[in-house]
Chain A
Amino acid sequence: MTENTPYIAISSIRKGYRLGAEAIPIFSDLDLSIPRGDFVAVMGPSGSGKSTLLNMLAGIDGPDAGTLRIGTSRLDQMGESARSSWRAHNMGIVFQFYNLLPMLTAAENVELPLLLKPLSRKDRRNRVEKVLDLVGLAGREKQYPAMMSGGEQQRVGIARAIVSDPGLLLCDEPTGDLDRKSADEVLGMLRFLNQEMEKTIVMVTHDPQAALYANRTLHLDKGNFHEEKRAA
């Protein structure tokens, strides 16, 4: 892989769903390149395929045809267990509704992805403390999700996504459930992760203000991307 090779390379992707006997096409010939370290916002109307794209990038859904490469991994050629392992080591995901497990504390939620790695209990605890500190939740380790605000829960969600130090961060409407202030804090944090920690971020959002935090915005419509031109 050369320096110019994109980190995410989607080529001639075809994807559709069946609704009974009816076939519903989402993408018929989708191409996309994202370089390493980019922060891309994906916008588009409902049903345009944003979530389908994110699911394919996360390896939880596969294309019907075409190639999907992230780093050196061909996700379109992987079986389910290989994709599970790939997710555990290469990708973090931030959900709209945080999706924290209610019976686990903040620290335990963050620790979850580390259970899949050969780390000692002490190493896991150190990493959890470090990322919770990074997202501004030091000292809140033992709090349960129900004891936290939406913004704080989302910060726990971000900590969980980055704790195993993945190269790719996928965000599915990360501020969709937050007030403006909390949303700006979360988005600022994502920008920090992109700029300071060189994470490649793909963020699906409906919020044009959220998209401004990204380096560029792609509009997905009728199965094709259109890049938004920004004022210099």
Chain B
Amino acid sequence: MKIHDTILGLIFALIGVAVLVTVSGYPKMPGQDVGPAVFPGTAGALLTVFGLMLFVKGRLAPARMRGLVEVGPWVASPRHILAGLATLGGILAYTMLANRLGFLIVVPPLMFVWHLTLGIRWPTALVSALLTTAIMWGLFYKVLGVPLPWGLLTRYAF
């Protein structure tokens, strides 16, 4: 997804200003010239300047894009749109559901969907989803001792 430099420049300049406003409220350290505001404040000021420079550069540069935002060829392919959504949505779903339902309940369907949206046929997807879940769980939970959540299965934890 291409976004015109003028828009990105403005966004960065605004972030820079927001940083400057935020750090303006930070306290001074007694007896020192440099408080917690100096470093992020300088960074914020630089970001504002750089953002504005990018904006101006974008305005002056010959137009290479048709609009201000240009989406890639994936926009014409439902499978690719689904794959993109599944990737981002899947991670989000994991963060929301894993604690409640448990790793072993959330991951296999997630993996299955990811495989399908990337064009793998369902029998292969199913086998790979179950196998990877088992291996990843074994490696991180059993070998490395990472407390992957049990969720609904807490009663059966082993």
A, B assembled together: no
A interface residues, Cβ below 8 angstroms from B? none
